[in-house]
Structure formats: structure tokens, C-alpha cells
Amino acid sequence: MDRQYETVRVEDRGDGLLLLTLNRPEIANAMNTQMGRDLLGFFETINAAPAEQRCIVLTGAGERAFCAGGDLKERNGMTDEAWQDQHLLFERMARAFAGCPVPVIGAVNGAAYAGGCELALLCDFIYAAATARFALTEVTLGIMPGAGGTQNLPRAIGARRAKEIILTGRPFTAEEAYQWGMVNRLCAPERVVEEALETGRRIADNAPIAVRQAKHAIHFGIQMDLASAMMFEIEAYNRMVPTADRREGILAFNEKRKPRFIGR
């Protein structure tokens, strides 16, 4: 992937694994309008040709913050119309992120507040530095979460705890996030990105159609009743039967070697 962006950095780690870094460390990787455009452009590119990538790891530049949320200096003095125009861009970005067929692992290296916490919640799962902190602070600023926070947090940790977090705006630790099921793994701060990349490599080594279809089945299946979800799963499963990767996987198992998946 050779496209360049102003506020995010994309590194190709080979064989379909990308490291996507929010790159405004001088202001805690706060999300301004340009970062909204850059993330929207990135995910639209991925979504238009998902077979070209196999896994994405998302992190923040520097040691202090994953993302501090919206850039409030840029927002200072905005008219209502300008604010809503900017937020529409952020909404489009969040929808493109949520709709990404390729797995996205969050490597939360520091503070993930407000919109930054929402970005983390949009990931398929999260590894966090043990020193990281999270918060949805929007109600302390006269607004509310508007990039999926009121929907993704309750789905991750339950409605009652999510209400407490969102309605108080109170920060919580990575350890608490781990205990509540929002974070999958706690890492040493200097290891969080590498551990996420190691898991990303494991995902990227698997059959890419199978990975995308499994993610698709989970994402939509949990929004259905169980019987409908089981039928949806079978529709996703049947997509694999005629693929070369399915045949290669069985052959490699019987030949006692690592499979060579090609995404077809």
C-alpha cells in the first residue's frame, strides 16, 4: 500500500500485514479534520480491495497517547455548521472503519480518551500497555460519544458498566478494561505494538477468505437471533468450500507442512 497521508503513517510489514500509526504525537495524536480525512481514505482504500491486505494493527505515535480524542484547539470557536460538517466526516470514517472486512487489532500504547477510546473500540480486539488509560469524557464537554462509543462499549463490557463510564466521564485503567473484557491482553509498554504485530502475523498467515468470512459472520451474527445467525454462518462457511485455499489447507495438513494460502 503506497498511498501517503498527512496525519497517519502506514507501514507494510509484508505478506498483507500493515501497521497503521496515528501520527500527531506533539498533541497526543488528537484527531483533527485532516486525520478524519486520512483515516476515511485509508479504510475506503482497504474496503475497496480487501483481498490485498490480511491484517491491520492500529497504534499511536510516541509513548504518551494512543489518541486523546478530537482536537479541541481546532474545534475552539467553530460554528455549529462547521462542527456538524466535521462530525459528519468523523461519522463516515467510523462507518468505514466498522465496515472493514480485514481484521484490525488495536495496540493501545497510552491514553485513549473520548474519540480515541472510540477508535480503540472500533478495532476487532485490543492489546493495551499496562500503563494505558481509557475514558469517554464527552459529557464533561457538553456533548456525548458520537463515533460508536454508546454502542460498542456496552457490547464490550455490558450496559450497566458502560452507562457508569459514559455518564460520569471517569477514566479507567488498562487493568480494569482487561478485567471487564474490553481489552484482550495487557502488555509491557515497550512490547504492546510488537505483541499486536505477532498476533497480526498469525492472522495474516491464515487463509484470508476464511478470516474475512469468519469476521463477517461474527460481526453480523451477534446482531441476529441465534437461529438466523446459524443460517448466516452457514452462508459464510459455504463461501470457502470451492476455494483453492480450502483444498490447499487440507492437502498441507495431510502432507504435514505449512499451507501456502493465496486468497483464492
Percent of the chain with pLDDT over 90: 98
Length of the chain (residues): 264
Predicted pLDDT at 63: 87
Tens digits of per-residue pLDDT, 166-179?
A: 999 999 999 999 99
Q: Mean per-residue pLDDT for 115-121?
A: 98
Predicted pLDDT at 3: 75
Spatial strand order of the sheet with 65-67 comes to 65-67, 111-113, 133-135, 172-173
Tens digits of per-residue pLDDT, 58-102?
A: 999 998 999 999 999 999 999 999 999 999 999 999 999 999 999
Please classify residue 151 by burial: count the beta carbons closer than 10 Å to its beta carbon, then call 0-12 exposed, 13-18 middle and 19+ buried: middle
Q: Which of 199, 238, 203, 202 is nearest to 217 (CA)?
A: 238
pTM of the model: 0.94
Residue type, 106: G
**Which domains, from first to last, does the chain contain?**
8-204 (3.90.226.10), 207-254 (1.10.12.10)
For the chain, give the longest Cα–Cα distance.
Answer: 66
C-alpha cell at 146: 458520537
Tens digits of per-residue pLDDT, 197-211?
A: 999 999 999 999 999
Letter string b/e over residues 208-221, b meaning 16 or more CB atoms within 10 A of that residue's CB = bbbbbbbbbbeeeb
Letter string b/e over residues 38-47, b meaning 16 or more CB atoms within 10 A of that residue's CB = bbbebbebbe
Active site residues: 118, 138
Predicted pLDDT at 18: 98
